[in-house]
Amino acid sequence: MTSGSTPLGARAGRILSGIQPTGNLHLGNYLGAIRNWVALQNDFECLFCIVDLHAITVWQDPKELIRNTREVAAGMIAAGVDPVANALFVQSHVPGHAQLAWVFNCVARIGWLNRMTQFKDKAGKNREAASVGLYVYPNLMAADILVYKATHVPVGEDQKQHLELARDIAQKFNIDFGREVFPLPEPVIRGPGMRVMSLRDGQKKMSKSDESDYSRIAMTDSRDTIALKIQKARTDPNPLPSDIAGLEGRPEAANLVNICAALSDRTAEDILKEIGGWQFSQFKTQLTEVAVSLLGPINAEMARLMNDPAELDRILARGAERAGAIAEAVLKEVYGVVGFLPRR
């Protein structure tokens, strides 16, 4: 693979990251993940995966899933991911992910999975009714990363625990078989957008599955919708503070300031110096301008790309071919190490 200004041999490592095609691609996905991918894509060899196998751990309407898969591809490209220099592909197109996940189901311990907070959150009170796939979700995620021997994984903060599990699996595999097969992948979690919170509740993360559409700014939202959602965002009755200490105990204010900082590539301190003493209504007008000027062009480009699904499918097919070649070689090595009789 070649890309940008840095030749492959000189790259800092290999990146794998993923995103679920579960609809409602939002500002958290953009600020917590996609924007970092764009920033890193010239310095690393990158594989960006649309994780449809993960998506079906909870029910997905089949037609919607296809549409959402293309929409994520369009969102990534519109946001600046270069699909020629990097492999942009769909997880189910590369069988190595599911194959390695099975091996990892036999490496990971039940106690490890029992500690995963995402399973507890998503399964809710009725755990018995959750899919088995949801339970072993982190093993598949480890396989996504390690089937490419990726060294770095840029994600939002919510994925930290999953990354720790991937490292534990890599380490246990290496120890069990007495071979340094897998590197221990490093999480790359950075920037003020690493945890974008809901616009309706500053204590909850912005999420694709929140019932309220007003909780998130979607990457497909029009200018008017963005303005309306920011206008309706929950706040408190006090004016904005002029320093970080003044955000203490004010999660909604902190969230809006952090979003503004992330969108305008400034620090929260810097923003607060400017807006200290303002009423929320004035700040919201400014935040809307910042959000619209950044997301507007992405939104327009996404719509253009979605109008040509055949071209998106071609891009994804090329990505799967490149990713598949790496995954196949790693899987062959793993099968050999585990002691599976080679097929002649």
Least separation, in Å, of the C-beta of 300 and ligand TYM?
22
| 23-46 burial: b if 16+ Cβ within 10 Å, else e | bbbbbbbbbbbbbbbbebbebbbb
Beta carbons within 10 angstroms of residue 249's beta carbon = 8
Q: At 42, which helix (H) or strand (E)? A: none
Least separation, in Å, of the C-beta of 23 and ligand TYM?
10
- Tokens, residue 140: 């598949």
Least separation, in Å, of the C-beta of 314 and ligand TYM?
24
* 273 catalytically annotated: no
Least separation, in Å, of the C-beta of 259 and ligand TYM?
10
Beta carbons within 10 angstroms of residue 234's beta carbon = 17
- Tokens, residue 116: 């995963």
Catalytic-role residue among 149, 205, 229, 284: 205
Contacts (Cβ under 8 Å, ≥6 apart) of 76: 19, 34, 37, 48, 83, 88
Contacts (Cβ under 8 Å, ≥6 apart) of 74: 301, 302, 305, 306, 312
Least separation, in Å, of the C-beta of 162 and ligand TYM?
6
Catalytic-role residue among 208, 229, 232, 284: 208
Q: Which is nearer to ligand TYM, 28 or 202 (CB)?
A: 28
* 229 catalytically annotated: no
Reference 130, options 141, 139, 119; nearest CA is 119
Q: Which is nearer to ligand TYM, 191 or 296 (CB)?
A: 191
Q: Which is nearer to ligand TYM, 64 or 278 (CB)?
A: 64
Q: Which is nearer to ligand TYM, 164 or 276 (CB)?
A: 164
Binding site for ligand TYM (CB under 6 A): 16-20, 28-29, 32-33, 51, 54, 141, 144-145, 153, 155-156, 158-159, 162, 193-196, 205-206
The set of long-range contacts for 122-129, using a CB threshold of 8 Å and a minimum separation of 24, is: 122/58
Q: Which is nearer to ligand TYM, 216 or 239 (CB)?
A: 216
* 208 catalytically annotated: yes
Q: Residue with CB nearest ligand TYM?
A: 32
Residues annotated as catalytic are 122, 205, 208
